[in-house]
Every structure is written in C-alpha cells, then in structure tokens.
Amino acid sequence: MASATRDASDGEGVEFIHEDDGSITARDIETAVASFGETKAEALRMLAEAIELHEGGGEPVTEEDLEDTEPGDKELPEFMR
C-alpha cells in the first residue's frame, strides 16, 4: 500500500507518495500535476518538467514529428501484450 507525506501548507507545495514498488510520486498540490522517479530528487525533476509542459512550455508536436511514425511500427511494451 502506498503512503504519502506532505511538504505543503495553504494549498501549495508538493506531496510525496511512496509507492509499493519503491518509486516515489511527487504531486504539485496547486495544479494536481504529478510525476514519479526512483528518488525524491528524480521525482521533483520530472515534476518540474511536467508542470512546465502543463503551463504551455515545451514545443508542440507537429505533423512532421508524426510522419516517421506508423501505427504498429514498434513492438508493444510487455505490459500491453
């Protein structure tokens, strides 16, 4: 069973959830955006990137990005087989 710790007050900050598989999920309280990593530091780095993308950062996907990809080109991950 996962357990949570909060580093937050007044609806701001980050909640850390220690997952059963040993990974750590970091969730931004204000936006509810979450990401995960093997350590708190990695989870926070991934969360920062996710929040940036959530707020409109990054580059949009273009038709050109999709041209080289056809459905079924790649083997499915084991959990999807």
> What is the mean pLDDT for each group of 10 consecutive residues in the chain (81 residues)?
57 93 96 96 95 86 72 68 67
Residue 45 inside a domain? The answer is: yes
Q: Looking at the domain assignment, is residue 18 inside a domain?
A: yes
Contact 21, 28 (CB under 8 A): no
Q: Would you say the pTM of this structure is higher than 0.75? A: no
Which pLDDT value is given to residue 69? Answer: 62
Note down the domain range covering 23: 1-51
Residue 74 lies in a domain: no
Residue 68 lies in a domain: no
Domain count for the chain, please give it. 1
Q: Look at residue 58 and tell me if it is in a domain.
A: no
Is 30 inside a domain boundary?
yes
Residue 47 has phi, psi (to 5 degrees) of -65, -40
Residue 42 lies in a domain: yes
Q: How far apart are CA 64 and CA 11, in angstroms?
A: 40
Q: CA triplet 36, 42, 45: central angle to 5 degrees?
A: 90
How many CB atoms lie under 10 A from the CB of residue 54? Answer: 14
